[in-house]
Amino acid sequence: MTCFQSNVGKSSLIKALFSLSPEVEVRISKTPGHTKKMNFFRVGKAFTVVDMPGYGHRAPKDFVEMVEPYLYTRKNLVRTFLLVDGSVGLQKADLIALEMCEEFRRPYVMVVTKIDKCGSGALLTNLLNLHDVVKTQTASCFPQPFLVSSLHFLGIYLLRCFITHLTGSIRLSNTSQS
């Protein structure tokens, strides 16, 4: 699992998602763009989460050289999570990251963060724009974005279930009830 974009709350999201896993210790800085290298967090024996430095604002100079080979060569990468700030919507840098994910043809998920930081009208506008982009410009993206607030734990439990399913920690049955 990997994440992107500067100042969208990547570290805060990881901390919220794994608050019940004491072995996952995440430091959060008040300074945007504080994460400068890839940070690996082992979650029990199940999987590893990678907190990537963000692109855009205060991105490390070697961002592309660090991230691109990782995404391209990592055979055990189950999913990439592309985070978008719900209060500002998709930015040009997000579209470039989306193109990169599409180019590598690795499955990825859009996570809309900070949904508690904006009014419902702005959030709805940003979500409709995101929906149009996913519908028209993606082939490898999970169609439903996850909406989360790390501060208020909104959407965190659903995203935890999704990650648990992805990592094989739970199995969903394909049999239907008759």
Q: Is residue 133 part of a domain?
A: yes
Q: Is residue 177 part of a domain?
A: no
Q: Is residue 178 part of a domain?
A: no
Q: Which tokens hold the place of 55?
A: 């692109």
Tens of pLDDT, residue by residue, the chain (178 residues): 555 555 678 888 988 988 877 767 766 656 555 566 778 888 878 788 888 777 766 666 666 777 788 888 888 888 999 999 999 999 988 888 898 889 888 889 999 999 999 888 999 999 999 999 999 999 999 989 999 999 999 999 999 999 988 888 766 566 555 4
Structural domain boundaries enclosing 33: 2-166
Q: Is residue 175 part of a domain?
A: no
Q: Is residue 49 part of a domain?
A: yes
What whole-number distance in Å separates Cα of residue 95 and Cα of residue 102? Answer: 10
Q: pTM of the full predicted structure?
A: 0.83
CATH code for the domain in which residue 7 is found: 3.40.50.300
Nearest to 149 by CA among 42, 9, 21, 4: 9
